[in-house]
């Protein structure tokens, strides 16, 4: 089974170089796939190839794992399985599922949500938006940090991780009592392992021709 990685940026390069997929998978970049055979397609690109990718998936009945936030596929009724993955760290996804299930307990309290990513990140912080929605906050309530000095001094991000990290901190208070939930994704190739596990989960399922939020895989116990 071929696993086709679409994209030329940092994430796509990471997946090609650091994936953890062995037999029966063969990982290849977009353009080198067998044109007439089903594959598992992982879209980690800007969207430039998305139309051609969708055509390939329709023609070969291939599932698509969409890693880009705000993809055009989110607004369509696809003719092939599409798994929407705004985050691919499995532990982080399980934390998000927990908060999604119980976040309503904290509504009405004073809350602050801070997210930090590398300065080059310009896309919508999809994980932060998801966390905010779980506790009843709108996207406008999210404080996004891209200043390396603030990341180092206030958030404690190590200098070596400034070029690639994901930080989220949710603070909840009633005045007398406060709690803090904090997540950090740091280090080399932090997403390759998670994408590998997602590919394995997709390979083991007969999926319908529809959109699947990655959280459905978590709540069903498929990851």
Q: Which of 81, 82, 84, 83 is nearest to 209 (CA)?
A: 81
pLDDT tens sequence for the chain (223 residues): 999 999 988 889 999 999 999 999 999 999 999 999 999 999 998 888 999 999 999 999 999 999 987 777 888 778 999 999 978 889 999 999 999 999 999 999 999 999 999 988 887 788 899 899 999 999 999 999 999 999 999 999 999 999 989 999 999 999 999 999 999 988 766 789 999 999 999 998 999 999 999 999 999 999 9
**What residues have CB less than 8 Å from 65, skipping those under 6 apart?**
40, 41, 42, 43, 83, 85, 195, 198, 199, 202
Per residue in 5-17, is it b (16+ CB within 10 Å) or e — as a string?
bbbeeebbebbbe
At residue 134, the pLDDT reads 95
3-state secondary structure at position 184: strand
Global pTM reads 0.83
What is the bridge-based pairing of β-strands 211-213 and 110-117? unpaired
Number of H helices, E strands in the chain: 7, 10
DSSP H stretches of helix in the chain: 10-18, 50-60, 90-102, 126-134, 148-153, 192-203, 214-219
Give me the count of residues in the chain.
223
Q: How far apart are CA 7 and CA 85, in angstroms?
A: 15
Q: How far apart are CA 35 and CA 131, in angstroms?
A: 39
Q: Which domains does the chain have, with CATH numbers?
A: 2-88+190-220 (3.40.50.720), 90-185 (3.30.360.10)
């Amino acid at each position: 089974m071929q696993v086709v990685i679409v994209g030329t940026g940092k994430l796509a390069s990471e997946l090609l170089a650091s994936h953890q997929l062995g037999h029966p998978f063969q990982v290849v970049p977009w353009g080198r796939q067998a044109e007439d055979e089903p594959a598992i397609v992982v879209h980690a690109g800007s969207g430039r190839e998305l139309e051609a990718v969708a055509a390939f998936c329709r023609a070969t009945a291939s599932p698509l794992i969409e890693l880009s936030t705000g993809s055009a596929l989110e607004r369509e009724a696809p003719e092939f399985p599409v798994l929407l993955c705004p985050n691919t760290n499995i532990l982080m996804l399980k934390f998000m599922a927990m908060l999604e299930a119980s976040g309503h307990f904290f509504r009405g309290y004073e809350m602050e949500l801070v997210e930090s990513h590398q300065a080059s990140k310009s896309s919508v912080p999809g994980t932060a938006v998801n966390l905010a929605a779980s506790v009843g906050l709108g996207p406008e309530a999210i404080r996004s940090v891209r200043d390396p000095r603030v990341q180092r001094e206030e958030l404690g991000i190590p200098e070596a991780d400034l070029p690639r990290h994901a930080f989220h901190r949710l603070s909840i208070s009633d005045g007398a009592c406060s709690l803090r939930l904090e997540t950090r994704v740091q280090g080399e190739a932090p997403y390759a392992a998670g994408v590998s596990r997602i590919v394995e989960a997709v390979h083991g399922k007969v999926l319908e021709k529809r959109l699947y939020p990655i959280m459905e895989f978590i709540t069903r116990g498929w990851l």
